[in-house]
Every structure is written in structure tokens, then in C-alpha cells.
Structure 1
Amino acid sequence: MDQIHNLMRRQIRKHFGNAFIVPEDFQSFFNAVNSAYWESDTDRGMLERALELSSQELLQTNSEMMALIKTFPDVLLWLNADGAVTGYKAGGATDLDIKIGEMVGRRVEDALGDAGIKLNEANKRVRSEGRPTSIEYSVVSGNNELFYEARLLPLFNDQVFAVIRDITQAKKMQEELRKHRVHLEEMVEERTRELKTANEKLQREVADRKQAEERFSKAFNANPNIMFILTFTYQQKDAVFIDVNKSFEQITGYKREEIIGRKILEFDIWEKPADSKRIVDMIRGNKEIRNLDLNCRIKSGEVRTCLISVEPIEFGGCASLLVSANDVTERKRIESEMARLERLNLVGEMAAGIGHELRNPMTAVKGFLQLLNAKQEYAKHKEFFDLMIDEMNRANSIITEFLSLAKNRMVELKTHNLNKIIKAISPLIDADGIVTDKQIVLELGDIPDMSLNEKEIRQLIFNLTRNGLEAMSPGGIMTIKTFREGGEVVLAVQDQGQGIEPDVLEKIGTPFFTTKDHGTGLGLAVCYSIADRHNAKIDVVSSPTGSVFYVRFKVFR
């Protein structure tokens, strides 16, 4: 057997004597009982140590809790079931603290009067309901009214724990806050009235602005002139399109969606690059831009003459420019045409006045030259007589052309088909082309008969084709076309020359203006005069790859 426990030894001696020997059969039983005694000692020791530690921890916790309670700024009360104060902790040097210090063991309602009654009622309510409750009460001290809040909660030992806090300052702050809130509400109401008035004014302004914008939009889009709005990007380096009107789209050929948001410099609008810098410099210099005469290039490449006006505006909150371009191309063309016709009229009047007077003496001179040339004694001078007679014939042909410019010249118009006239004289035109190694191509469309003077129309075609052939280098192709376009029959003579310079193009049709070394300057003037007598007009389109003369005849039904 292991070491025998003292209690086990005493029991053996008591019941069996000192000389007792444990029988073999009971040896395991006695060992188990002996082990139980030893384990009991071990458990008891551990329990004693645990109780000792728990007591120490409880004392420590209680000490810490009391230290913590002492730090509370509030008054603490412990009340029993009768409402008597069994303990307290002062919160500061207040009237309440003094009274509580004098009333430990007394009923709280006896010491505090009405405030004590309220505390005791709360004490009873906590006990009956078994849950915490809160109350507020006030105490008059001198000229001051002090406010308190009491928070009561049940304890496990039939005690009610009350925390009493001085809320006088909080009450004052609440009152100040209330007054401040009232003041704020009054200010808010006043401000609301002001805002309402301002909002009504703003709505009126918005309505007026909207109406003004609608009027501007209608005037902008309905304006027959080209109009667009530009705004400048960062540091005013580039001008960007932000709006265009319908006339802009119709005249320039650009669609709104391919313009808006893009820089104006991305489009080759100005015929002369210097014009762009000129306008920008005027804008930056705050110079007025009114009816500035510039040439603008539209999408098709055609150059149009416009009068440019620029007005600074505010658009979408940004400083912008409203640009108006009055397309005066047609007006200038008409003015030019009127001036040309006036010149033709003047030349025609001169031709009618002096043409016959010049021809009569020239006929006499030519006759005497021919007579002298036939005499044998002047045979040695035959070469000189032939030269003089040729020059007289040339002068006579110039006078004939000169006379054809007469405005009041009477021509007989008969029903003819332009295609038949062209086919009839095409062998002569082909012959001129063969001599100069140039090809003539006819593209004759289906056109109606018209009232024409066949002789003058032939002269018109001869003059135009002769100019076209002279403008081309050998191997070039000249195309003669006829087609119907709307209410017009169009004759087109197209060459493959080098085109006509703009300054020359402006003077085309002016009598005696020529770029040829031996020209009279009457060929195209005669063409314009013939077209005028046939109620037709001549348009010229020129490029570096050649020129096209369009003669447009009105078709009368």
C-alpha cells in the first residue's frame, strides 16, 4: 500500500488496532480509499487558494469601484424601501450636498420637501417595475432656481441607487438654444421670404431670358445671312464653333454636326490666309468689324464674296462672338454684269454711230487699191498692194464684229435645235482641231427646239471653240456638251487648258480686252452680246485643269 493518509491511519487504528494487516483480498479497496483521501486534500487546497484569490480580487474590485465613484461629479444616493437614505456620495459644494449630508438615515422626502417626494415616488416605481427610471425636478436657492436630473436603478440587495446630476447649466444652455432656435427660425422665415421674392424675380428674369433666347434663336435660324457663334479655347488661342444657323448649312454645304465643337482653323474658310489673322487682330484690338468685304470658301471649294460683321456676346456664360456673313456674290455678279452690259451698250452705240461711217471710206480706198493693183505699171508693187488690201479686209472684219455689239441690232429668231447647229458646223471645228493636233468631243443631250438666230449662234460657238483650242496644248481634248437643267438649255464648251487667272476672269467680255498677242478683244464681247440678244447668260468656271463656258438659254413653253 502507498503512503497511508493520516485520516486513513486513524480510522484503521480506531476500528482494527495498531497491529492490523490489510488482507490481500481488500488491498485494492484500501488503496482506492487511501487515494481518495489524498485527492480530497488536493481539491480542498485548491479551493482554499481560489477562495483566497477571489476575496482579494473582490476587495480590489470594490476598492477600484469606490475610487471610481468618488471621481463622479454627481451626487449618489442609496435608498431603502421606506425612502430613507442609507448612503450617499457628495458631488460638490451645493445646497443639495449639504442637505444630503445632514439627512443620512432620514426619509428623503422629509429632508428635501417636494423634491424628496418626487425622489421617493421614483424609488417606489423602480421597485414595483423592476427597471430604471429618470425624473427631473427643481430647487429654489435664493434668487436662483436649480435644476436636477435623477436616474434611479434597482440593486440586488433591496436597495435603489440614485444618481443626481445638476443640470442647471444644461437647462440654461437649452433655453439659450431654444431662444437661438427661435431666432434662427425667425431669420429663416425672413430669409425664406427674401429667397421667395428673389426666386420670383429670378423666375421672371429666367422667363424673360428664355423669351429673349427664343426670339434670338428664331432670328438666328430664320436669318437669310450666314450666322455662326464662336467661343475661344484656353488662353484664346483657337476659336471654336458652338452654333450655326440654317443659312450657314444651306449656303456653305457644311452640316451642323460636322461643324459644332471644331476649330474654325480646321476649315479652309478664308480665301486668303492673311484674312484670318486680320480678323483676329481686329477682335483682340477691340476694333469694330462691320461689313468687312472678304472672300470665303465653301465646302465645294467655290469662293463666295461676303460682308463680315462681328459682335461680342455672352453665350452659355462664356464670352463669344456672333459672326454674320452677308453673301453678296450674286449681287456683285449682277453689278459686274450690269457694268459689263453698260460697257457693251456704250461700245454698241459707238459701233452703230461710226461703224458705217468708217466702212464707206474704207470701201473706196480698197477699190482704188484693187484698181491700181490691176495696172501693169504697178506690177512691181503688187506685193505691197496685196498687203494693204489684206489689212483693209482685216479692218473690215473688225468693224463687222464691232457692229455686232450694237444693242439695238435687229436679229431674226427662228425655231432651231441647238444640236443640229452644232453638228452642222462640227466639221469646221474638227478641221481647226486637226490642224493644231487637238481632239473635239461632242456630248449632245436631248434638248428641245428654241428660238435662235442660226448665224449668230454659229458665231457664238466658233468664238468659244476657237478660244478653247487656243488655250490648250497639242494633244488636248475639247468637249462640247448640251443638256437640259431645270428650265434652261445649257451649251457647255470645256477645254483642258491651264485655266484663267482671277484678275483676267473679272474682265472677260470687256470689249477690246485681250490676252492674245494679235487679238482684237472683241470675240468674247460679241459672245456676250449674242447671248444677251437671245435672253441667255454666260457663266465661266475655271481651274488649273481647264475652263468651262456655260451658255444658259431660257426655255419658254
Structure 2
Amino acid sequence: MTIVNSGTVEQDLDGLLLSHLFDSIPDACVVLDERYFIVKMNSKAEQIFLYPREYMMSKVIWEITPQYINTKLFHAMAKVRNDGKEMKFEFCGGTSNRWFGATLCMMGNCLVLFFNDITHIKHTQNELLRAEERFSAVFRNSHALMSIISLENKQHISVNNSYANFFGYTSNEIIGKTKEDVFLTADSMPAETQIQHQSGKNTLSGVITVKTRSNEYKSIIVSSEPININGKPCQLEIGIDMTDKLRYQKELIKLEHLNILGQMSASIAHEIRNPLQTVKGFLQFLQSKEGVLPYQDYFKLMIDELNRANQIITEFLSLSRTKPTDLQLCDINDILKSVLPLIQAQAIEEDKLIEVELKSGTKTMLDVDEIKQVILNLVKNGLEATLPKGRVKLITEDDHRSVKLIVCDHGKGIPIELQENIGMPFFTTKKDGTGLGLSMSLSILERHKANLRFVSNEEGTTFYIDFPIN
């Protein structure tokens, strides 16, 4: 235990009070005796109290500042005098809006008060607090997808409701997890959408495709900024759902292609139909000759195919407009059986195999010629994607709500970056393709109020068509 000689302390205090350094203290300083009389004060204190030093000396401090009696300052002084322990605190001016930071300590029998004006600091803190409150309100209520991610462990620190609802979670389910735990991004993404490391900062921008909890693929445009949260590096990410907008853009592009197609079709239809009619006329003429009577089935097949080619031209002309469909109550199995010889002939020629599995027996309203065209287009695409010795499988089934046609090939699949263009007029990956086959099929299926979807991976592509029963 250290014993301090009171005489030494008093000498130190006297030395301080008499020293020229006392007036140079940057903080305001007031020394009070046992009865709270002011025994010394520096010029900085004189400026704050707004009284001359000569007037304040030898007066009780509460006589000069009665507004502080029974306030935080009043009780702090009593406490420090009783227990002798230094205390630091902040208080607001009794007759002003000024804030002060204070330090109280004992020096011998005297109480020493150091204080300085911190009004500008408090105002800055209050502005910062209000800014944080405004940011918090914007963060919580924004329709944009907003998240804060720690750059140390890549985990979500906070997300807003729009972000959580978009991915199909609650906020609590996301916080503490990484983005990889919450959603999947498409396997193939343009380089500009990846996280770039520039000047030591993580920045991310561009459109990405994500897979949500409900296995939906959606597109969002993302931007991010590095921020600091409680001294730790974080990243604020803001996303905008672009799914509908991109779909509308694709539809507009499709309409533009259809418009071009309509303009082209009128000029080429006549040139195509004339030679077809010539070939058909000579076939019908030769069909009546006695020498070809054993080949009547072949002649009939060729004439039927010429008629179908003429029908395709008609569809080509009507692709960009809605055309009434000749619907009849049909069994899709009968339609499939009628084109099966053509399909199998093409498969044999290409050293490939056609498998058929007919489960559906339910009839629905169909246009026979149009559905034939859809089947032939899908099978043709499947055979072209399948290697020799490979198989293309056709399946029909129903679930009492719809009749389903499934066409499955064992090719290499459609690259994910090209899948969104499937069905767009003139889009093709084939060297000699026109990009019209699947587009016309989609137009036909729309007139039947049928739904087409597909699944494609490295093991092949499967198209699913649902025809409503009613």
C-alpha cells in the first residue's frame, strides 16, 4: 500500500495553480475546494462560463451555475469527492443546447473539473445516427434485393424481406449462411458478371441467373459496394429482379423476327409452291401408268408428303399471325402411328433407333396435320442430336388433366447459354438449319393451348408437351 503525504499533494496543487502551464491547458479547468468554492480556473473556462475570472473567483460554483443543481454534474461531483475515483461523462448545458465532455478527479482536498465543448461531435454523432436510421429504413422497405455480406467468412450479416422472399426463405434462415448455401448460379456466366478483385476491393456487377429454393431460374442485375460494419469489412449487394424484363425483351425480339418472317414469306411462297405443284402433277400422271401399279403405296406416300410440304409453306406464311385451327377429337397415339414409318425410315438411314412407348388412350382436341408436323420436327431434331447407334424415344401418357407427348434423345444436350433462345425464329445451331422448325411447332402448340418445356444436360434433351384434355 502506497502512502501519499498530504503536504506533498498540496504542494503539487499549489505548483500547478501557480504554474504558467495551467492557463495553457487546452480543456477548460476549474478547481473547487471542500465547500465547492472556485479557487482557480483557466482562461478556457472563463470563455465557456462567459463571466470574467475575477467575478467567479471565491464564489460557490452553484451560485454561478444554479441550473446544474441536482443534475448529473451535481451528483457526479459529490460521488468523486466521496470515493476519490476519477469519473468521465458527458452532459448537456442547462441553458443551452451545448454538450460537454467532463473529467472529475481529486487532487488533495480539491475537486478538479476538466471539460470541453463537444457539441459538434454530438451533432455529428446524431447526424450519423439519423443517417443509419434512414439507411435501415431504406434497407428494410426497399423492393430491391439487398444484403450485407461479411468479406471475412462470406456469410450473410443482414438481408431485407425482398431478398428473403425472392429466394423463398425467411431472413433468419439466410443470416449466417453463404450465398452458395442460399442459391445456385448458372454454370456458365459471362466473365464480367464474376467477382472481380480490383485495388484490393471486391466488386460485383452484371446480370446473373440464379436458382431459387423452389427450383425456379430467375435473372437479377447485381451491383455491390464495400462497406465497413463495426470495424469489419463487408459488402453491400443490391439486386434488381430482371426476370420479367428479360422475358419481355425476348418476346419483343421474337416479334421482330416474326415481322421479318412475314415480309419474307410472301415473296418466296409462290416460288416454292410452283415447283411442288409441278412435281405433284407429274406423280399423279405417272401413278395411272400400268407399269407402276405395284408401287401405288409409294406414289401415295410421295404425294402425301408433297401435300404436307405445301402445308408447311402455309404454316410458314401464317407463322406471324393467329390462324384458326381445325380441331378434332383425336387419339395422339393414332397420329404418332401414322408418322412412325417416316420416322423409322429416317432413323434406319442414320443408323439410329426409334423407341415408342404408348401409354395414353385418352382423346383430346387436336389438329392432326399440325401435330404431325410438331412430332416430325421434334424427332428430326432429336435424331440430328443423337450419335449413330443412339436412340430417340417417344412416349405418350395422360394424367386425366392432360395428354402428354415426350420426346427424348441421347445427344450432348443444349448448352445452358443457348437454352433461352430455343424456339426463337431463325435461331439455330445447325450448319444448314433455318431456325424455323421449333418456332413453327411452338406456334402450333400455342394454338392448341398446349405447354412445351424441356430439360437438357450432358446426357441428352427431353421435350415435354402437355395437351389439355378439355
Distance 1:210 1:522 in 2: 56
Bigger CA drift: 325-334 or 424-433?
424-433
- In the superposition, relative to structure 1, how do residues 336 and 399 fare at CA in structure 2: closer, same or farther (>3 Å)? farther
The C-alpha deviation readout for 1:134-158, integer Å capped at 9, x for no partner, is: xxxxxxxxxxxxxxxxxxxxxxxxx
Equivalent residue number for residue 356 of structure 2: 440
Tell which structure's C-alpha radius of gyration is larger. Answer: 1
The answer (yes or no) to whether the contact 2:189–2:208 under 8 Å persists in 1 is no
Aligned pairs for 1:364-403 within 5 A: 364=278, 367=281, 398=309, 400-403=311-314
SS of 1:333's partner is helix
The answer (yes or no) to whether the contact 1:469–1:478 under 8 Å persists in 2 is no
SS of 2:253's partner is helix
How far 1:308 moved relative to its partner?
Answer: 1.2
Distance 2:265 2:307 in 1: 13
1:261 aligns with 2:176: yes
Q: 1:242 aligns with which of 140, 152, 157?
A: 157
Equivalent residue number for residue 437 of structure 2: 523
Equivalent residue number for residue 280 of structure 1: 196
- AA matched with 2:134: A
The answer (yes or no) to whether the contact 1:295–1:305 under 8 Å persists in 2 is yes
How far 1:404 moved relative to its partner?
Answer: 0.7
SS of 2:413's partner is coil
How far 1:307 moved relative to its partner?
Answer: 1.2
- In the superposition, relative to structure 1, how do residues 284 and 268 fare at CA in structure 2: closer, same or farther (>3 Å)? farther
SS of 1:218's partner is helix
SS of 2:150's partner is strand
SS of 1:347's partner is helix
- In the superposition, relative to structure 1, how do residues 357 and 178 fare at CA in structure 2: closer, same or farther (>3 Å)? closer
Equivalent residue number for residue 425 of structure 1: 335
Distance 2:276 2:392 in 1: 40
SS of 1:411's partner is coil
- In the superposition, relative to structure 1, how do residues 213 and 368 fare at CA in structure 2: closer, same or farther (>3 Å)? closer
- AA matched with 2:92: E
How far 1:425 moved relative to its partner?
Answer: 2.5
SS of 1:338's partner is helix
Equivalent residue number for residue 85 of structure 1: none
Equivalent residue number for residue 333 of structure 1: 247
Distance 1:520 1:396 in 2: 21
SS of 1:404's partner is helix
SS of 1:509's partner is coil
- In the superposition, relative to structure 1, how do residues 302 and 488 fare at CA in structure 2: closer, same or farther (>3 Å)? same
- AA matched with 1:440: V
- AA matched with 2:419: L
The structure with the largest strand share of the pair is: 2
With the length of structure 2 as denominator, give the TM-score of the two structures. Answer: 0.57
The answer (yes or no) to whether the contact 1:479–1:495 under 8 Å persists in 2 is no
The answer (yes or no) to whether the contact 1:496–1:546 under 8 Å persists in 2 is yes
Equivalent residue number for residue 216 of structure 1: 138
1:464 aligns with 2:318: no
| Superposed CA RMSD | 5.3
Equivalent residue number for residue 324 of structure 2: 411
- AA matched with 2:353: D
With the length of structure 1 as denominator, give the TM-score of the two structures. Answer: 0.50
- AA matched with 1:216: V
Bigger CA drift: 277-286 or 347-356?
277-286
Distance 2:137 2:304 in 1: 71
Equivalent residue number for residue 237 of structure 2: 323
Sequence identity percentage: 29
The C-alpha deviation readout for 1:316-373, integer Å capped at 9, x for no partner, is: 5544322122232343233223322432343244334541454235534765798799
**Which consecutive unaligned segments of at least 5 residues does structure 2 have?**
1-5, 15-30, 40-59, 62-67, 78-88, 101-118, 292-300
Distance 2:395 2:376 in 1: 11
- AA matched with 1:229: I
The answer (yes or no) to whether the contact 1:254–1:299 under 8 Å persists in 2 is yes
Distance 1:541 1:216 in 2: 40
Equivalent residue number for residue 10 of structure 1: none
The answer (yes or no) to whether the contact 2:336–2:372 under 8 Å persists in 1 is no
Equivalent residue number for residue 150 of structure 1: none
SS of 1:438's partner is strand
SS of 1:525's partner is helix
**Which consecutive unaligned segments of at least 5 residues does structure 1 have?**
1-167, 380-389
SS of 2:454's partner is strand
The C-alpha deviation readout for 1:466-490, integer Å capped at 9, x for no partner, is: 43355345464625355679x9876
The answer (yes or no) to whether the contact 1:478–1:495 under 8 Å persists in 2 is yes
- In the superposition, relative to structure 1, how do residues 306 and 357 fare at CA in structure 2: closer, same or farther (>3 Å)? same
Bigger CA drift: 468-477 or 268-277?
268-277
- In the superposition, relative to structure 1, how do residues 192 and 514 fare at CA in structure 2: closer, same or farther (>3 Å)? closer
The answer (yes or no) to whether the contact 2:140–2:160 under 8 Å persists in 1 is no
The one of the two structures with greater contact order (alpha-carbon pairs below 8 A, sep at least 6) is 2
1:231 aligns with 2:150: yes
- In the superposition, relative to structure 1, how do residues 498 and 300 fare at CA in structure 2: closer, same or farther (>3 Å)? farther
How far 1:499 moved relative to its partner?
Answer: 1.1
- In the superposition, relative to structure 1, how do residues 344 and 263 fare at CA in structure 2: closer, same or farther (>3 Å)? same
Distance 1:362 1:544 in 2: 40
Equivalent residue number for residue 179 of structure 1: 33
1:480 aligns with 2:395: yes
SS of 2:196's partner is helix
Aligned pairs for 1:5-404 within 5 A: 179=33, 182=36, 188-189=73-74, 193-194=91-92, 198=99, 208=130, 211-212=133-134, 215-220=137-142, 223=143, 225-233=144-152, 239-252=154-167, 256=171, 259-264=174-179, 269=185, 271-272=187-188, 275=191, 278-282=194-198, 284=200, 292-298=206-212, 304-316=218-230, 318-356=232-270, 358-360=272-274, 362-364=276-278, 367=281, 398=309, 400-404=311-315
- In the superposition, relative to structure 1, how do residues 282 and 206 fare at CA in structure 2: closer, same or farther (>3 Å)? closer
Bigger CA drift: 206-215 or 400-409?
206-215
- AA matched with 1:546: G
The answer (yes or no) to whether the contact 2:382–2:409 under 8 Å persists in 1 is yes
Distance 2:396 2:168 in 1: 27
Distance 1:468 1:413 in 2: 27
1:508 aligns with 2:422: yes
Equivalent residue number for residue 159 of structure 1: none
SS of 1:478's partner is strand
The C-alpha deviation readout for 1:44-68, integer Å capped at 9, x for no partner, is: xxxxxxxxxxxxxxxxxxxxxxxxx
SS of 1:508's partner is coil
- AA matched with 2:33: K
Equivalent residue number for residue 28 of structure 2: none
- In the superposition, relative to structure 1, how do residues 331 and 535 fare at CA in structure 2: closer, same or farther (>3 Å)? farther
- In the superposition, relative to structure 1, how do residues 552 and 209 fare at CA in structure 2: closer, same or farther (>3 Å)? farther
How far 1:527 moved relative to its partner?
Answer: 0.3
The answer (yes or no) to whether the contact 2:325–2:447 under 8 Å persists in 1 is no
- AA matched with 2:354: K
The answer (yes or no) to whether the contact 1:430–1:440 under 8 Å persists in 2 is no
- AA matched with 1:422: I
